[in-house]
Amino acid sequence: MNSAIKTKIMPLVVAAGIMFAAFAMFSMFSRSGSENAVAITTDDVQTSFVTDLDADGFDAAISNGLVLVDFWATWCAPCRIQNPILEELALEIHHLADITKLDVDDHGSIAARFGVRSIPTLILFRDGEAVERFVGVQQKETLRAAIENYL
């Protein structure tokens, strides 16, 4: 093959390879983010204490007691890292505080109301008032300490 043709074709081959790799990664990660954070019960045993919120029930959910709300989206890789941390925290402290999630893609007006500009953002509410805010992935111990601080 002529070197001039190779020079013109090589960037196209590289670009196609990059696009294929990106598509493969997207396909792999989009499947792992499909789990829902709603309570799943099997034989009357609750396996998740993280509740999915929506616009209709949001204000009522945060109005009483301590409620941690995770503002997240399915496409957000750090949000997928935060999810198992919240699941573990909720399992340990569901009797002290409610651990909830709100999808910002589905409920952007609520995220805007609380000034959420990056995700994951976690806001701790006490009786309807925001008392603490975390941006980015947070460790279980950090969140637990904040919750215990407001008991």
Answer with the residue of higher pLDDT: 21 or 82: 82
Please, are residues 59 and 100 in contact by the beta-carbon 8 Å criterion? no
pLDDT at 20: 63
Percent of the chain having pLDDT more than 90?
68
133 Cβ contact partners less than 8 Å away, ≥ 6 residues apart = 121, 122, 123, 124
As a whole number, mean pLDDT of residues 77-91 equals: 97
The CATH classification number of 41-149 equals 3.40.30.10
Q: Which of 4-8, 90-94, 96-100, 140-144 has the lowest mean pLDDT?
A: 4-8
Specify the pTM.
Answer: 0.70
Mind telling me the catalytic residues?
76, 79
What's at 134, amino acid-wise? Answer: F
pLDDT confidence bin for 26, thresholds 50/70/90:
low
Within 8 A by CB and 6+ apart from 68, the residues are 86, 89, 97, 98, 99, 100, 122, 123, 124, 125, 143, 147
Are the beta carbons of 88 and 142 closer than 8 angstroms? no
Give the tens place of pLDDT for each residue, 5-18.
767 777 777 766 67
